[in-house]
Amino acid sequence: MFKRMLSAFGVGGPSVDTVLDSPHATPGQVITGQVRVQGGSADAEIGQVVLSLVTRVEVEHGGHESAGVGEFHRMVVQQGLRVPAGQLVAVPFQLPIPWETPITAVGNTALPGMTVGVRTELVIAGAPDKGDLDPVLVHPLPSQDKVLDAFGQLGFQFRAADVEVGRLAGVRQELGFYQEIEFFPPGQFAGRINQVELTFVANPHELYVVLEADKRGGMFRAGGDSFGHFHLSHVDAEQADWAGLIGQWLTQVAERGQANPAFGGGAGYGQPGYGQPGYGQPGYGQPGYGHQGYDQHHHGRRGPGMGGVVAGAAAGVVGGMILGEVMGEVFEDDGGGEDMAFEE
């Protein structure tokens, strides 16, 4: 998308331009495209062509937060590439999108505060030279879509989203971070609950849904956080009554100040015994329930609810900026913040 000169060769050197066949993807999919290297004034020898997936992450340090660029998937797509002077060399690629990749778009709207990009590096004489940074719109899986639609149907309002470094106790994670999507609660919970945070952790067979409610304290009631934990196969998640499940959990949190043990108890992310597998209903929480793999030919298809909620919030945040400009600001031209690697 953005053609850049390779600094290692200086003026007159080759330039690189990575072109995606489509910027849309869902977790577990493969995105395809070409890395196009345009030869400069002299022949060039490139050791490796490397693609990586990056996102913006938040790191907590003693009560303070800092931001960095997190690399969570890396792949060599070509070893040893000779680029003749003045000629164009195209390297096709297929890049898998990890199942835990953060969601960056809901419906036809970019999720404010979230971005995932494909970064291109050419390794020359053993040293990487960062080139392209191309945005990818990561849409929810159908199972995740059902949960998001329930939030919209219940009257939640989108507040913010980010990616936090860390791991969730009791949840199997491949990556060392998790996404939090924050919502203002429905009106009937105003004054009792400040906000609700939603986290997805997916794999080819199942989906974890983690909820955190920030409960407002008062003279006769305790404040603090309450947690809910749902663990279903993708098939079950698509069929579940999420509006009923989430509404019941939130009502119990608001009335009792602590979640019912069947909903995940009150344990925090880093505490042993976090929640309980499933939701206390038969069949839920069984890993790989009757399902091998997951078909995710799905994006842009939404029911009523969350699409409009996010679109309304995004209008004031994204404005008229094109996606490339958003990427540039979030990553600060790919030079801001600390670079971190998250192995799968």
pLDDT digits (tens, 9 = 90+) for 3-43: 555 545 555 678 899 999 999 999 999 999 999 999 988 99
Residue that wins the pLDDT comparison between 4 and 126: 126
Residue matched to tokens 């989108």: 158
pLDDT over 80 at 277, yes or no: no
pLDDT at 211 over 50: yes
pLDDT of 180 strictly over 80:
yes
State the pLDDT confidence band at 310, using cuts at 50, 70 and 90: low
Reported confidence tier of residue 62, pLDDT bands at 50, 70, 90: confident
Q: Which two tokens stand for residue 301?
A: 């298809």
When the candidates are 3.30.465.10, 2.60.40.640, 3.40.50.2000, 3.30.70.890, the CATH number that belongs to 4-139+317-333 is 2.60.40.640
Q: Between 179 and 316, where is the model more confident?
A: 179
Is pLDDT above 80 for 323?
no
Strands 24-25 and 30-38 turn out to be unpaired
Residue 21 token pair: 């066949």
Residues of the chain with CATH 2.60.40.640: 4-139+317-333
3-state secondary structure the chain: CCCEECHHHCCCCCEEEEEECCCEECCCCEEEEEEEEECCCCCEEEEEEEEEEEEEEEEEECCEEEEEEEEEEEEEEEEEEEECCCCEEEEEEEEECCCCCCCCEECCEECCCCCEEEEEEEEECCEEEEEEEEEEEECCCHHHHHHHHHHHHHCCEEEEEEEEECCCCCCCCCCCEEEEEEEECCHHHCCCEEEEEEEEEECCCEEEEEEEEEECCECCECCEEEEEEEEEEHHHHHHCCHHHHHHHHHHHHHHHCCCCHHHCCCCCCCCCCCCCCCCCCCCCCCCCCCCCCCCCCCCCCCCCCHHHHHHHHHHHHHCCCCHHHHHHHHHCCCCCCEEEECCC
Question: Would strands 64-83 and 338-341 be described as parallel, antiparallel, or unpaired?
Answer: parallel
- Sheet of 30-38: strand order equals 4-5, 15-20, 30-38, 88-96
**Radius of gyration of the CA atoms of the chain, in A:** 22
By the 8 A CB rule, do 310 and 157 touch?
Answer: no
CA-nearest of 58, 110, 59, 50 to 81 is 50
pLDDT at 274 > cutoff 70? no
- Of 28-32, 42-46, 98-102, which range is least confident? 42-46
pTM for this prediction: 0.76
pLDDT value for 305 = 61
